Amino acid sequence: MKSLVRGFLWSLAGVATCLFFFSPRLLVFTEQAPGSYEWTRGLNFLQQISGEAGEKVEPALQHRLLPVVVCKVLGLEGIEAFTLGWLGVMFLLFTTHRLLINQKLPSGLAVCGVFMVASTSAVVTSLGWLGIMDGWWVAALLIVSFSPIQWQILLTCCLAPWIDERFLIGLPVAFLCKWLVDPANTQKIVKTGTWIFLGVAPYLAWRVFSYIHFPSDESARFLSSEFLVWLRTAPHGWWMAYRLAWVPILLCFWIPNASRIKVPLLLGAVFLSGSVAVVTAADLSRSAMVICPLMLAGLILVYRAKPVETVKTAPWLTGANYLVPFMHVVYNKVEPVHPFLLEIVRLLKKLGAEL
């Protein structure tokens, strides 16, 4: 119980630290601003919950039905519905702490993992844009990668695709991360692959059915040409998603005594998931989170190889990542994210001018 409480408190600390260094634009939250990054998805999400969207649901939300169902069952509307995305951030950070503890990492290193995840786009965007559910599907990828409990993996794979299809895009990387951190138990890895397939099969069947019976010209146009607009900014968006947290991701490819096939397979999975993510979504810094399990896998593998050096270095690397500027990269546009104190000053100036 004490461990669970500590995990919850460190998750709160991770959220607070992220908000302090990478604050939402508070000026935009003073009133609805359709067309802004902060409000567009949130307003569409509320229309989907209320049924006002009808058949004209935004393409990106058409199959993301689980958050809508949860809100309707719980009776969440307006600002209350937006709390579902914020709870997803808490769940992501709490899950990170628990999984790293279960991987036998020291508590201090598990805390570093929490704060490292809290500095990525999954948390920054979910806290700054309304109606974003990234915390839930990124946490689902981490569960697939590092949870030893098979029923958790099955349940996660049944539910997560209905939150965001990016979960499916990141599954190859997540599955290989499980193989990397638990290489000896081949039979268990095969069993996990079976549970993953059974879990995602209903969603895949629905997507094939809907594609055949309800084809979308807009989707076809989007996939055929629109991604060329933002292709040049993709490297910038992917860098911004992690910044210094790219270090454990790159170290993940340094696997002592690994078989020759593991690194090429991992590179192939990253290329596959990354390419699909870039082509299918313009919010580039968000889409980069499909490879988030690599960040924790790298931390685990490096600790196992060099425990003393990792414990000494990880806190410095994690802290430094909060000093590296963060920017949202969407289409070919870049939106800087400022510290909380600066956003407070801007908000007070506006309120003072209106008085």
Please tell me the pTM assigned to this model: 0.93
CA distance 270 to 176: 10
For 221-254, what is each residue's pLDDT tens digit?
555 557 777 788 899 999 999 999 999 999 888 7
pLDDT at 216: 61
Q: Crossing angle of helices 166-181/262-280, nearest 10°? A: 170
Q: How confident is the model at residue 218 (pLDDT cuts 50, 70, 90)?
A: low
Are 138 and 92 spatial neighbours (Cβ–Cβ below 8 Å)? Answer: yes
Are 24 and 125 spatial neighbours (Cβ–Cβ below 8 Å)? Answer: no
Q: How confident is the model at residue 142 (pLDDT cuts 50, 70, 90)?
A: very high
Q: Which residues contact 45 (CB under 8 A, 6 or more apart)?
A: 61, 67, 68, 81, 82, 130, 131
Give CB contacts under 8 A, 24+ apart, made by 183-187.
Answer: 183/258, 183/262
Q: Which residues contact 304 (CB under 8 A, 6 or more apart)?
A: none
Q: Which residues contact 346 (CB under 8 A, 6 or more apart)?
A: 26, 27
